[in-house]
Amino acid sequence: MDSNNDWKQTPTSFEYFDGKVDYILCIDETGTPSLKNYNQNNIWFSMTGILIEGEVGLSIITDLMKIKRKHWKNATFKGKRVIFHSREYRKKIGAFNPKFVNNEVLENDLYKFLAASDFKIIASGINKNYLTTTYSNPYAIYWYSLLFIVERFAMFLEKKNKKGAIILESRGRREDKGLLESITPNIENGTHYVSDKACSHIKGIYFNKKRTIDNKQSYPFLEIADMVGYVIHNKISQNIESNLYNIIKNKIYNYPHINGYGLKIFNRK
């Protein structure tokens, strides 16, 4: 991690805990952030953050790698590190094709891993209909959804008097830079809802791909956010409580009283 505020200047990746932050929050999104030509099939956009304390982060990586090595030789598929991606996993394509893996055994291993892993969840969901009717000039939906999570992460860190960093999945250099420039003032100055003192506990926002450039390594915390994010999205948008949702729901921050803490919904209209 940067030793100063370089993360504010240009999108930077987060490679490992170096003792400068106590927690990381790894975020993935579900749905499309565009407000152009959306329909009732994609009126919801959500973000899900996996909140991990530094001391337990390495054990989570180790345990997930054990699953990968069990089901794929050298934890790779076609020369690339296997990554858990919700769409491929659900559709049983790529590395998850039944020709290459026993999905029933894999699911059992994965669910046991997620149930046992020590992490919390902070998520947000935005109803596009409600957003466009609430504001004549609606906020950028990706930024607004992230703002909700920044606020809740800041309050969590302030309560514990700890420092944290946010890691987002990179969407491209231009998109990352635009988001960084728009969200950094909220980290520096606070928001309408959370003070600058609380937000000062956030020491950086970083952007990682799911794999390293050489395809030999991955960022497991983003993989977990991807897998968990899909079931959180279905709960938010359709009130679907899947088996996986029921396994991880008690990890939502401040469960069972999650509204306004581990979950921000805007809104249900």
Supply φ then ψ for residue 267, to 5 degrees. Answer: -125, -165
Q: Which pLDDT score is estimated for 1?
A: 52
Q: Prior bond to 256 cis, omega within 30?
A: yes
pLDDT in tens, 136-160: 999 999 999 999 999 999 999 999 9
Amino acid 124 reads S
CA distance 259 to 264: 6
Give the 3-state secondary structure percentages of the chain, helix then strand then coil, rounded to 5: 45, 20, 35
- What is the rounded distance in angstroms from the CA atom of residue 115 to the CA atom of residue 83? 19
CA triplet 241, 247, 249: central angle to 5 degrees? 65
Residue ranges covered by each domain of the chain: 20-32+40-266
Domain 20-32+40-266 is of which CATH architecture?
Answer: 2-Layer Sandwich (3.30)
Question: Whose structure tokens read 């809104």?
Answer: 267
C-alpha to C-alpha distance for 84 and 3, rounded to whole angstroms: 31
pTM over 0.85: yes
Model confidence pLDDT, tens digit, residues 22-79: 999 999 999 999 998 888 889 999 999 999 998 788 899 999 999 999 999 999 999 9
To 10 degrees, what angle do helices 141-160 and 173-189 make?
Answer: 40
DSSP tag of 99: T
- CB atoms under 10 Å from CB of 61, counted, come to 16
Mean pLDDT calculated for residue range 168-194: 93
**Which pLDDT score is estimated for 78?**
95
Dig out the tokens for 111 from the structure. Answer: 């669910």
Contact 151, 194 (CB under 8 A): yes
Quick one: DSSP state of residue 261? T
- The average confidence (pLDDT) of the chain is 93
